[in-house]
A and B are shown apart, each in its own frame.
Chain A
Amino acid sequence: MNALAARRRHPAAIVILLLLGLVAMGGLYAALAPKPAQAATATADDVAEGKKLFLANCATCHGLHAEGSKAGPTLVGVGAAAVDFQVGTGRMPLAGPAVQAKRNSDVKFTDQQISQLAAYVASLAPGPAVPDAADSSGTNGDVAKGAELFRVNCAMCHNFAGSGGALTRGKFAPSLRNVEGKHIYEAMLTGPQSMPVFNDTNLSPTDKNNIISYLHEVDKADNPGGLSLGNLGPVSEGLFVWIFGIGILIACAVWLGSKAA
């Protein structure tokens, strides 16, 4: 028999066996156990990366510690949702001095960088978080209820179909066509620029999902009645009638009055 077997009744043998068993079990568990679903929980690395991105791209206007400056407001307390919205829709970094930051399809950062920036800003002070996919996808929402909520809370600025509208002094409520559900949710939650805040106690997550469903339904541009003319109501319809309708009537009148060849 070998040296190991000769010591099998040593008092330390049981301790060593137990340790081996624990290590094996622990290792197997760590390797094979199902990972719990985590919404991107920010790690300390994300926050550090986010801080670097912030200092490089945002600190000139928002201050070295996001405390704000003459050029930009403080970001302490705005939360990850605000960063995800503003940077994700291309509004920030601001392209140039303007009355209002406009949506920009040229988003300057990758999704990972945006979540790192969001993690950094969220670490400064508690604020609204990026919403769950379930509440912001717009699927399975009640379109009719969403439309009613939209008409009461949103249509006065954004138009009954979300085509956008004017505010004072050059500001405007932008068109809501083809906006990702997550960004719609975050805009309601954080109240960017002139928009008021619709927190989750005002419009619950289900309400918000219903509104997103309604907007996505309008995006389908299902127009059984024909030309929607931008859903702008009497203005565009009136223009259409004045140009084409009255134009055709005048053409017919000229034809009626002219002499035949």
Chain B
Amino acid sequence: MNEHGTEAPDGTSTEAVRLDQGHIEGTGGIPERFTNPGLPAHIHRSADVDEKAARKAEKQVATLFTLSIIGTLVFIVAYFAIDHETKVFLPGIGLANLQNVVLGVSLAVSLFMIGAGAVHWAKTLMPDEEVVEERHALRSQDEDRTGAVDTILGGGDQAQLGRRPLIKYTLGGALGLFAVPLVLQVAGGLGPLPGDALSTTFWRKGMKLMRDPEGTPIKATDVTIGSVFHVMPEGIDKSEHVLEEKGKAAVLLMRLDPDDITVAKERDWGHDGIVAYSKICTHVGCPVGLYEQQTHHLLCPCHQSTFDVTQDCKVIFGPAGRPLPQLKITVDNEGYLVADSPFREAVGPSFWERG
């Protein structure tokens, strides 16, 4: 198939045309076979054609690199000259630390302008001719192929592997078993089995309820209607894994009017309207601290599970699957609130063995 379109004298053609042939009107039919139209005409850049444009591009590249140099110099000066405590008011940001801002901006300029200069240089001055390289055939020569097969098979015969099955079997055993120490270390490195750590918390009968950061015990008379206390058990700071224990033992203490409580068990496990619930959400474990006093709802901020404290923290909205576990509390002979029993169920999100 010849690749040059046959041009009729009036500029029409029955063949496919190339893109650099200019405007040729076709007859409207589809040719037998589409020929390769070739690459579009090369568009020359002004720097290729015009020496003045090339010098302008050179100046632009030089400017970008010079800006980078200036940025670096500003960085060096600012590092030593600006006191690290000075503040400056920047519109839109407010009070900012002057040295941080200057160091950051100058380093950004210094790095960015190197790249910008290099890119501009490549775009304007470096060659941009389109190059096409044909792919060579992938299939090797026939004699090379048979030669390779013969070498491999011959090598196998010479190693005597076929004649000596004992070597074959012990090799297989050695290589296979070698994988075991690697797998063992990966599986063993997963840590100790949790045992019953997921089902139990630090709370024991008789432990005082303590205010969370202060660590002071709470008297029942301190808790008035509408109050919320964030509670940790007594002695948790001395436990072996403090953070793990705190992550399970967090409790929220609230006081409601006993007449508002609709579930008898909630009233019994509380003390005169004071109720204690686990703070760990039964969905994914965020602390459920948002107590809405008027509606008696507890909201978890992560996925908005909402628990109704008057209905034993039943889930009234959101993805949590189970109500919050209640901690049975009572008052000791000095008037301090103490736990009357550990949590009767596992706190926090569901897990497979949660019985």
A, B bound: yes
> Could you list some 23 contacts between A and B, CB below 8 A?
A149-B213, A152-B212, A152-B213, A153-B212, A168-B295, A171-B292, A194-B292, A194-B293, A197-B293, A201-B223, A202-B211, A202-B229, A222-B87, A223-B94, A224-B87, A224-B97, A224-B100, A225-B97, A227-B93, A259-B45, A260-B45, A260-B46, A260-B57
Tell me if A20 is interfacial: C-beta within 8 Å of chain B: no
How far is A191 from B46 in the complex, measured between Cα atoms in Å?
73
Min distance, Cβ A156 to any Cβ of chain B, angstroms = 4
Min distance, Cβ B111 to any Cβ of chain A, angstroms = 13
B residues 81-98 near A (Cβ < 8 Å) are 87, 92-97
Residue-wise, chain A 97-108 has the 8 Å CB interface mask toward B (1 for contact) of 000000000000
A202/B227 in contact, CB under 8 A: yes
**In the complex where A191-B293, A221-B95, A223-B96 touch, is A198 in contact with B227 (Cβ < 8 A)?**
yes
Residue-wise, chain B 214-238 has the 8 Å CB interface mask toward A (1 for contact) of 1000010111111111100000000
Min distance, Cβ B286 to any Cβ of chain A, angstroms = 9
Chain B positions within 8 Å of A171 at CB level = 292
Chain B positions within 8 Å of A148 at CB level = 213
Residue-wise, chain A 193-223 has the 8 Å CB interface mask toward B (1 for contact) of 1111111011000010000000000001111
Task: Tell me the count of chain B residues lying within 8 A, CB to CB, of chain A.
Answer: 48
Tell me if B123 is interfacial: C-beta within 8 Å of chain A: yes
The A interface, classified by DSSP as helix, strand, loop or mixed, is loop
Min distance, Cβ B94 to any Cβ of chain A, angstroms = 5
B290/A156 in contact, CB under 8 A: yes
A226/B101 in contact, CB under 8 A: yes
Tell me if A165 is interfacial: C-beta within 8 Å of chain B: yes
Which of A196, A226, A227 contacts B226 (CB under 8 A)? A196
Tell me if B289 is interfacial: C-beta within 8 Å of chain A: yes
How far is A157 from B293 in the complex, measured between Cα atoms in Å?
12
CB within 8 Å of B: which residues of A?
148-149, 152-153, 156-157, 165, 167-168, 171, 191, 193-199, 201-202, 207, 220-228, 255-256, 259-261
Min distance, Cβ A175 to any Cβ of chain B, angstroms = 16
B residues 271-302 near A (Cβ < 8 Å) are 287, 289-295, 297, 299, 301
A156/B43 in contact, CB under 8 A: no
Residue of B211, B222, B317 with highest tally of chain A CB at under 10 A: B211
Q: Report the nearest B residue to A200, measured CB to CB.
A: B222
Min distance, Cβ B229 to any Cβ of chain A, angstroms = 6
Q: Report the nearest B residue to A155, measured CB to CB.
A: B289
**In the complex where A224-B97, A226-B93 touch, is A196 in contact with B293 (Cβ < 8 A)?**
yes
How far is A44 from B292 in the complex, measured between Cα atoms in Å?
37
Tell me if B124 is interfacial: C-beta within 8 Å of chain A: yes
Which of A165, A193, A222, A259 contacts B294 (CB under 8 A)? A193
